[in-house]
């Protein structure tokens, strides 16, 4: 995540994870949503350490320093109104107020709660700490997604639903049923669906169910990987996503 820009899929993923934790706006307490109504409530990508303050400290003298100012670890999602209210305030001043008013708000957006890290002199240490928190929370979220118990609770109801912008079915991950072979194009289509969800409001992809809501299962995909089992599938799935998404 070091110097990763907001165009990185990880930024959208961080928003999805933050929403799952109940993230709220720091000044009005409303739940964050990418389609809030009204210009004042449109979500913006706020610099935790204001750009102008960092610029005065020489953080725009080189391209590498600029990337630090604008990287994911220095950005949070806030409404336009809240972003304007913060303006060029120092984090050590305004984050205290946020924490007092909404005790869980900072943690919901992965902001280190140690006030020492909010000082301008500790900007780079703050980035280091927050990168780790973001990475850990995304990993925890991904682990949670493949938890067998969670899937058993929800999968039956989801299969009965029609596909929409937040729900999509794929018969298989990489096995072409008609041609009885591994098909890399199918694998890439799965990747495109996941990236599409990450770049929007999130969603659910169910592999092993066709467009007619018929359960195909995962056996064909399990057997088609180098290990020939579920563990091999999970390993291949993770490595494939990491190779393209980062």
Give the per-residue pLDDT at 70: 92
Residue whose C-alpha is closest to residue 208's, from 173, 165, 240, 168: 173
Decide if pLDDT at 154 tops 90: no
Residue whose C-alpha is closest to residue 54's, from 39, 75, 35: 75
175 backbone dihedrals φ, ψ, rounded to 5°? -95, 120
| Residue range 57-72: mean pLDDT, rounded | 88
Decide if pLDDT at 41 tops 50: no
| Residue range 59-63: mean pLDDT, rounded | 84
Give the per-residue pLDDT at 165: 84
Give the per-residue pLDDT at 82: 67
176 backbone dihedrals φ, ψ, rounded to 5°? -85, 105
Q: pLDDT band at 31, cuts 50/70/90?
A: confident
Q: What is the pLDDT of residues 123-146, one digit of tens each?
A: 999 999 999 999 999 888 877 765
| Surface-to-core class of residue 172, CB atoms within 10 Å of its CB (0-12 exposed, 13-18 middle, 19+ buried) | buried
Give the per-residue pLDDT at 4: 79
- Return the DSSP state at 62: S
Does the reported pTM lie above 0.95? Answer: no
Decide if pLDDT at 34 tops 60: no
**Which of 80 and 165 is assigned the larger pLDDT?**
165
Yes or no: say if 183 and 175 are a contact pair by the CB < 8 Å rule.
Answer: yes
Give the per-residue pLDDT at 197: 80
Q: pLDDT band at 38, cuts 50/70/90?
A: very low
| Residue range 213-219: mean pLDDT, rounded | 93
Give the per-residue pLDDT at 108: 93
């Amino acid at each position: 995540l070091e110097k990763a820009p907001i165009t990185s899929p990880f930024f959208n993923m961080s928003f999805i994870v933050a929403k799952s934790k109940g993230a709220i706006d720091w000044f009005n307490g409303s739940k964050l949503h990418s389609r809030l109504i009204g210009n004042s409530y449109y979500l913006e990508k706020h610099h935790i350490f204001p750009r102008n303050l960092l610029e005065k400290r020489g953080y725009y003298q080189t391209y590498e320093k600029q990337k630090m100012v604008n990287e994911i670890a220095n950005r949070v999602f806030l409404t336009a109104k809240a972003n304007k209210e913060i303006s060029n305030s120092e984090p050590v001043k305004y984050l205290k107020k946020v924490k007092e008013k909404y005790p869980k708000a900072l943690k919901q957006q992965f902001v280190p709660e140690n006030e020492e890290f909010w000082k301008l002199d500790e900007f780079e240490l703050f980035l280091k700490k927050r990168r780790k928190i973001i990475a850990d929370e995304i990993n925890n979220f991904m682990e949670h997604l493949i938890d067998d118990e969670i899937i058993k609770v929800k999968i039956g109801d989801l299969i009965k639903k029609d596909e929409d912008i937040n729900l999509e079915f794929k018969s298989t991950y990489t096995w072409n049923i008609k041609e009885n072979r591994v098909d890399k194009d199918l694998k890439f289509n799965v990747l495109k669906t996941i990236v599409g969800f990450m770049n929007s409001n999130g969603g659910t992809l169910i592999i092993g169910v066709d467009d007619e809501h018929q359960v195909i299962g995962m056996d064909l995909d399990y057997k088609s990987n180098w290990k020939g089992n579920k563990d091999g599938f999970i390993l291949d799935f993770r490595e494939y996503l990491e190779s393209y998404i980062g």
